[in-house]
Every structure is written in structure tokens, then in C-alpha cells.
Structure 1
Amino acid sequence: MKRYATAALLGAISLSACAQPQAPGADAKTAAAPAASVAGTQPKTTPGTPDAKAVAAIRALNQQVPIDRVGAAPMPGFREVIVGGRTLYVSDDGKYLIQGSLYDMSVKKDLSEASLSKLRKEMLKQVPISDRIVFAPANPKYTLTVFTDIECGYCQKMHSEIAEYNRQGIEIQYLAFPRMGLGSQDHKKMIAVWCAADRKQALTAAKSGKSVPMKDCKNPVTMEYDLGQRLGLTGTPMIITANGEQVPGYMPPQEMRSYLDKLAESAADPKTAAASG
């Protein structure tokens, strides 16, 4: 029983860090790119400290899973560890591990999501605007980062309404996430989009089912795919606000504007935020 419980936990914390199976014909250099980045992800800790024990506990389950942050948890006796887009809690002695959201009943706030939002915001800052495909109105009220795929139905639907999102004052900044995995035809098509002379036109064509001339160049597609996994992406489109909060999923433009307005109101009024949870 202990063995099966450990296996289940291992799978849970490694899910977002595991790439899709390597596609037939994918070369070893391309397939290995995210793994190299993930393997180098680990916070610095001092031996013997609660932080070091927490990292050691995670590494005992999985040597490769990315650990992006470790520090004091909001509850005493535990460390908060962000692992592959998930928040875990490990006891200071490294003996116990808790999965799931930590909810503060006094203020009705999900503390786990708050920590993830902060990390997402910091990590997304590392992606320059030149590596994104941006559709923006003249004076945007809100900016969303969207991990997208050209084959995903909801990604296609969202993009078909891009002009209306812009009319609603919403800027969309796309990052690439070829959901079929590295080396797949999907991956190659997304590289072609990012290598096109007019990326916006190429992305619109690809999402409309039109062919895009296959090209290769120095591009951020693999890096963005890796980043999406580290942020806990489980499906496309993954939509993230400027504050790092993850939007539940696709919403029509007017509904999205209303949702963002409510988030802004909650942020401006702590009492409203507490009431809304």
C-alpha cells in the first residue's frame, strides 16, 4: 500500500513537468531541450535547514521535477514548496507532505493560489515582448498572457474573437504551447508561425486551418512550452492576468471584460475580495 501511495503522489507532483511523449521522428536535441531546463531548476538552500529538508523530501520522490520556490508556509511548522506549477507543504523536518489548497478561513482566501500567482507574474516577466505575438487595442485596460496552440478548439474560438477582445479593452499576448509535444507536427507548425515575417497574420491563418509556409529559425517555442509546464499548464488556452492569476478558462469577450472588472474591484477593495473568496 505504501508503494502505491508513493507512486500516486509521485505522479501528481510530476504531471506538469513531464513533456508529451516524443513524437516519431523527433530528434534527440529537440526532445531534450525542456528536460535540460527543468533539471537546472532548484532553489539554493543551506544544508540542514527546513528549506533543505523540504527540497530533499521532494527529490526523494522525483529527482527531475522542477522546484521553483521554497520558503516559510503561512502555517507554522511547514515549508511552502512550488513544484511544477503546484503548491505543496512539507513539514520542517521533511517527514510530512501535504497536497492541496491552503485556505485562510479568516479572510476567505486561497493562500496556495496567491503564492502561485506571484510566481507566475515573476516568471512571465522573463519572456520579452519580442517573443510574444501581441494583439492589442490602442489603450488597453487589461493585458492577458495566453499560452496557446493552433490545433486547440477553444484556442481557435478565442482567436476568432480577437478583434472583440481588443474592442473590450483587452490586450492578448500569446505564448506558444504545442500541446502535441516537442517534435510533433503541431510543434513544427508553431515554429513556422513564430518564424514568419508577419507572426500575427501567420497565427491567424494557422488557427483558421490555412497552411503556413514551413520555416525554421531561432525561436522561443520550446522555451515557452517548457515555461507553460513549469507554471502548471494542464490545458490550452491557459490564460493569466497581469497579476499572475489564472483565469478559469475560455470566456467570450464581454464575459471576460466583466470578469476582469470584478477582479480589479476586488483588488481595490479588500472587503470585496474577502467576501468573494
Structure 2
Amino acid sequence: MSRFILAALSCALSVSACAQAPQAPGSDATAAKSTTEAKPATAGSAESNVRNALKGLEPNLSVDYVGKAPLPGFQEVIAGGQLLYISDDGRYLVQGGIVDLKEKKDLTGESRALSSFRVNLLKSVPTSERIVFAPPNPKYTVSVFTDVECGYCRKLHSEIGELNKQGIAVEYLAFPRMGLGSKDHKEMISVWCADDRKQALTDSKNGKPVPTRDCTNPVSKEYALGQRIGVSGTPAIYAPDGTQIGGYLSPTAMRARLDDLAKADAGTPAGMK
């Protein structure tokens, strides 16, 4: 059963992303600490039931949020960077899209708790620790967890000029998908330690050798944060509101997706954001 819950918490990979290598539960890759300490749940409460149920299935699972779900009788849960619904008594787990047929809304896609969770984690990484490709006065800024060896990451980066023309700034965070200590982890450290990180990243993605370097760097920290936010493949692209919009997307498709999100956000009452 614990294997089932771990499988359920694994994000379904898009065909436009390179899969992450398997990681053992409780490894350093998933050891990022919470930015806030959760308050103890009241014994016998729905939150307590949910946390106890998940602990019984997987003791090392990090549960970041439990709150009332839009689905009656269920709690909304963020665990391992994924969104789940678990019944108040801790018996039933629902994963996947939940649609309100009356309101014609995808409740899962509109989870404010998950978006807020992602935004707060992404804000913890300063611009100085990212590799940024931005046009003057960008319309949108996306955060992209990237790997130097992934084919889709390379395809995305080959179109960085067109993305900038579309008014999109790309801020890269490191996610060596083969894990800590791997060849691409070491190569990404060299990239982040280079005098010209933008050129080093471009060279690495083009298969050109990057001089081996080491320094105080954020690569391992960003990888751990990606694990906690739910990244399971690269590229993983996040909009300013925390929505994951890809997988690889073409520049025109990414601009259209960002425009759609902006329109939807503009139509949301201020008190609901």
C-alpha cells in the first residue's frame, strides 16, 4: 500500500519533459525544510485523521498543507508537491482532476493553496541564484527548472531568443534530474560557478565542454526545492501565479498560455486571489 501512495503522489509526466531519475524516499533530494512550521493538528480532527492516514502509509512523506477542500467531506492536501483530496475520516484518497459540473470549474486546477505554496517556495530563490534570460520590460516572467542534458530543455533553450521576443523572461533554476552527485549535477555546478553563467549554460546545452569549476552555489538547494515543489521532469515551467504550464512549450504556445492565465486572474475578484 505504501508503494501505491508513492505512485499516486508521482506527477504524470508530459511527453514534452525528460523524466527524473528515481529517488529513494527520505533522501537528500527530498529533504528541503518547510519555510513555516505547521501547527499541531487537534486530535480527532479531520486534519489529524488525514495526517495520521498518510503517516501510516509512508512515514517519511512530507505533508505541507491540509485544509478544507471544495469537495464536501474532504480535505485538500499538498504532499510531496502534489495536490490530493482525502476524506475527513482519512479513509479515501482522490487524485486527479475534480470538476464541478454545475459551475463548470476544474477545482483541482484552481487550487489557491497549491498555487500559493509554489509561489512562496519560488520566491525563496533570489534572482541572483538563477540564470536569467530576459528582454527589456518583459510582459511575463517564468521560472524554469532545467537540466543540461535533457533534450526538451535544450529545445526550449534553443528558442530563448523567440521567447524573449514574445515578452517572456526565463529564469532558470537548477534541477539535475539524474540526482545529486551525478554527472549532470557536477556539470551544473560548473555552469553556476562560471564567470559568465548564461554563456556557460548555453554552451552546456549545446554539448560544448564547460570548464570544471566549484564554488558556493545553489544547485543542490534548488534541486531539493524542485523536489518539494513537485518537479518530476525537466523542463518544469511555472507561471508567476504558481501554475505549472509545461513541459516544453513553443514560444507562441507559452505566450498564449500566459495570456489565458492573466485573463483568468483579471476576472477573479480581488478578495479571492
Cα-to-partner distance string for 1:24-45 (whole Å, 9 max, x where unaligned)? xxxxxxx953344369997332
Q: CA-atom RMSD, angstroms?
A: 2.5
The 5 A counterparts of 1:123-162 are 123-162=121-160
The equivalent of 2:271 in structure 1 is none
**1: CA distance between counterparts of 2:235 and 2:21?**
17
- Uncovered stretches (5+) of structure 2, i.e. residues with no partner: 12-19, 269-273
The equivalent of 1:73 in structure 2 is 69
Among 27, 38, 41, the alignment partner of 1:43 is: 38
**2: CA distance between counterparts of 1:39 and 1:227?**
10
Among 86, 89, 112, the alignment partner of 1:93 is: 89
**2: CA distance between counterparts of 1:15 and 1:210?**
33
Greater helix share, structure number? 1
Query: Residue 31 of structure 2 contacts residue 224 of structure 2 at CA under 8 Å; is this kept in 1?
Result: no
The equivalent of 1:26 in structure 2 is none
Report how many aligned residue pairs link the two structures: 256
**1: CA distance between counterparts of 2:237 and 2:31?**
26
1:172 aligns with 2:170: yes
Q: 1:14 to 1:101 in 2, by over 3 A?
A: closer
SS of equivalent residue, structure 2 residue 198 = helix
**2: CA distance between counterparts of 1:173 and 1:123?**
14
Cα-to-partner distance string for 1:19-69 (whole Å, 9 max, x where unaligned)? 8468xxxxxxxx953344369997332331221221111111111122111
**1: CA distance between counterparts of 2:84 and 2:22?**
26
**1: CA distance between counterparts of 2:116 and 2:97?**
15
Cα-to-partner distance string for 1:99-153 (whole Å, 9 max, x where unaligned)? 2222222332222232222321121111111111111111000111101011011
The alpha-carbon deviation at position 204 of structure 1 amounts to: 0.7
Q: 1:33 to 1:268 in 2, by over 3 A?
A: same
The equivalent of 1:245 in structure 2 is 243
The equivalent of 1:257 in structure 2 is 255
Q: Percent identity?
A: 53
Query: Residue 78 of structure 1 contacts residue 90 of structure 1 at CA under 8 Å; is this kept in 2?
Result: yes
**1: CA distance between counterparts of 2:93 and 2:209?**
49
- Uncovered stretches (5+) of structure 1, i.e. residues with no partner: 1-5, 23-30, 271-277
